[in-house]
Structure 1
Amino acid sequence: MSGLATIAKRLLEALPTLFGVILVTFMLTRALPGDPAVFYAGPAADAESIAQVRHAMGLDRSLPVQFASYVEGLAAGDWGVSLSTGRDVTEELSRRLPASLELTLLGLLIAIVVAIPLGVLAATRPNSWVDHICRIIVTTGVSMPVFFTGLLLVYVFYYLLGWAPAPLGRLDFMHIAPDRVTGLYLVDSLIAGDVEVFRASLAHIFLPALTLGIFALAPIARMTRAAMLDVLSSDYIRTARASGLATRTVLFTYALRNALLSVLTTLGMVFSFLLGANVLVEKVFSWPGIGSFAIDALVASDYAAVQGFVLAMALLFVTLNLTIDLLYAVIDPRIRAAS
């Protein structure tokens, strides 16, 4: 099966899931406490004004009619208008999504850089001090809530030591955001050749990314260690060592490459968890991403914004799973042959 055929098949398989997400999200938002018509009409509005707003928003119609109208709008590319900001939901998400993706990807990169070498070292030296450190880090990462880690890092590195800037967003008032190309400040500042803005962006994103990295480090390190231990005890590894191959070749060419299949699956799940943890981290660090946007929308019973956020997350998960399926074929030639 060709790569395009595989992508098309995976997308078709994802359609029922996306429809289920749309339906469940629609029903759950209607079950939220509060009335968006009351919020939109204002605190001084009387019952008649609220009824007029509810009629204008279509909330006085039956749920099946509202759902059919919502799906029809999605098919036309209309995700609705956010009551909180007055802008199209797609505009709000496209403006805020790069901030969340930049934070999530950098946090995942920090976790990978630390966790995979740590897991490999722990697997090659079982019950050594490296293995014990790996277990301590894994236990700590699993035990500490992500919001507590963020607050602790702010307290130590900003309040006590003064090494980090104030946790007030992506840049301070002394710097101007780079011209938007990708929406990722680190990338856009490099494209523009503005080293000062790059350093300022890196300084502001480091603590929230480190918070996510600590959260993601534990499952990646644990899976890397377990996968490497399993591979290193296999027959073909013993055969490779008996054949006189160098230890580095056996470890990285044969063992690690096969262990990466399990690690890659874990990375997909961890990335999904990080997108969820972003909601708390963005609030702690006043990060202008889609997580903080979703919380504000929930408080205001902003149906369109909440539904748009959940749908955007579902599309990201589908894209992530598709990417992982394609990476499987890159790492393991047997999967390409079976496709």
Structure 2
Amino acid sequence: MFSFIIKRILILIPVYLGLTLSTFTLIRLVPGDVVEIMMGEKAVDPAVHAAAMKRLGLDQPLPIQYFNYLKDIFSGNFGTSFRDRTPVLDDFLSHFVPTLELALCAMVIATILGVALGITAALKRGSWLDYTLMSGALAGYSMPIYLLGPILTGFFAHYLGWLPVSGVISVFQFLDVKPLYGSWLLGSLTSNQQGAFIDVLKHFVLPSIALSTIPLAMIARMTRSAFLEVLGEDYVRTAKAKGLSPMRIILVHVLRNAMITVVTVIGLQMAMLLAGAILTETIFSWPGVGNWLLDGFHNRDYPIVQNGILLVATALMLVSLCVDILYGLINPRIRHS
């Protein structure tokens, strides 16, 4: 298993270098002068413009800029924002935590409901329940977030007044602990703190539901297809002929072999949620990395766009690595092939 993981990590190295080259190149293809955007009328003076270009390192040839870019990245320096003069890594972490929390909430909802509905539809194949569930999944997949989001906010927030739509804070900020090694118990909080914590969780309900609809539909449909394919295999018929209970057949023989497809879909959908939640963040005023990157792009803030996209891509690569490792754990033939 160790050699399997090392091979997967080595494969990511050229992919990572390609990402650095892509992010470096694409932002420079966008029309617009970063100095003029930053300084406005002050940049009209050629001397001021040249001094600013030199200070930002933009007066050097592109190969040298790229080499310096790589050198800074591999030394752990992700640069400083041209506009705000703040470290890009600190800005990224402060915006990525809310995005990660939202993506995880949406993914938990999508995975639990999607797998359950997919298995139910597969076991009831051809029945009215199967057609109803898959029709609902198709409707969920076809519903765009920019339409579903306003519907949810209009009904549950404005009409019923049950849930808030903005003003969210991070769960980790509320608990005032370090996410990696902090520990807490809800029971140890006072009644006021528990009420405030529940209020924090309420802010997650609407954006999590809106963001989970498409992944839920995809997971449900792919789970159904994978289960139907495995249910038709010879070893499943042999297990039935041996008189094994239906529950044992499903959990031992069907579920594990069908999970390869399901894990693939979950991994891809998780990557999409991390990278593509900008519409949800905009609708629900969520302080995530999507809005942060969009602002950096509008301001031609090279360090934010280059390194922000690179850091998001790094997170996606780690998700892909985790999916590959799960492949090896679920099916030993994969890591030995």
C-alpha displacement of 1:198 = 2.4
Pick closer, same or farther for the CA change 1:239–1:111 going to 2, 3 Å.
Answer: same
SS in structure 2 opposite 1:79? Answer: coil
Is the CA contact 1:178–1:197 (under 8 Å) kept in the aligned structure 2?
A: no
Q: Which runs of 5+ in 1 are unaligned?
A: none
Q: Is the 8 A contact 1:99 1:289 kept in 2?
A: yes
Gap change, CA 1:290 and 1:190, over 3 Å in 2: farther
Aligned CA distance change for structure 1 residues 305 and 190 (closer, same or farther; 3 Å):
farther
Give the drift of 1:333: 3.5
Alignment correspondent of 1:334: 333
Q: Does 1:68 align with 2:67?
A: yes
1:53 equivalenced with 2:55 (yes/no): no
Deviation at 1:11, TM superposition (A): 1.7
Aligned ranges 1:230-309 → 2 under 5 Å: 230-309=229-308
Counterpart of 1:38 (choices 31, 36, 39) is 36
What CA deviation, in whole Å up to 9, does each residue of 1:126-185 have, x standing for no partner?
A: 1212211222122112212222222221111111111111323337xxxx8331311899
Distance in 2 between residues matched to 1:218 and 1:160, nearest whole Å: 27
SS at match of 1:177: helix
| Corresponding pairs, count | 332
Contact 1:154 1:207 in 2 (8 A): yes
Which ranges of structure 2 fall in alignment gaps of 5 or more residues? none
- Aligned residue for 2:22? 24
Looking at structure 2, the residues matched to 183 and 299 of structure 1 have their Cα atoms a distance apart, in angstroms, of: 33
* 1:16-62 alpha-carbon deviations (Å, 9 max, x no partner): 11111111111111112322212222445433323321221111222
Match of 1:14 in 2: 12
The alignment partner of 2:163 has SS state of coil
Between stretches 322-331 and 254-263, larger displacement belongs to 322-331
Shift >4 Å, 4+ stretches: 187-192
SS in 2 for 1:168: coil
Q: Any idea what the Cα deviations from partners look like across 1:164-218, whole Å, max 9, x if unmatched?
A: 11323337xxxx8331311899x87849734223211210011111111112111
Which residue among 164, 168, 179 is the counterpart of 2:176? 179
CA contact (8 A) 1:189 1:197 kept: no
Check conservation: 1:282, 1:288, Cα contact below 8 A.
Answer: yes
Aligned residue for 1:168?
167
TM-score of the superposition, structure 2-length normalised? 0.91
TM-score (norm 1): 0.91
- 2:174 and 2:197 in contact (8 A); partners too: no
Residue 166 to residue 303, structure 1, CA distance change in 2 (3 Å):
same
| Residue 141 to residue 95, structure 1, CA distance change in 2 (3 Å) | same
Distance 2:125 2:52 in 1: 66
Give the Å deviation of 1:273: 1.4
Overall identity of the aligned pairs, in %: 34
Aligned-residue Cα RMSD (Å) equals 2.3
Distance 1:147 1:292 in 2: 15
CA distance in 1, matches of 2:188, 2:93: 21
Partner Cα separation in structure 1 for residue 185 and residue 312 of structure 2? 27
Q: How far, CA to CA, are the matches of 1:310 and 1:184 in structure 2?
A: 27
How far apart, in 2, do the equivalents of 1:214 and 1:189 lie? 30
**Are the counterparts in 2 of residues 102 and 184 from structure 1 also a CA contact under 8 Å?**
no
Pairwise CA distance, 1:238: 1.1
* CA distance in structure 2 between the partners assigned to 1:304 and 1:310 by the alignment: 10
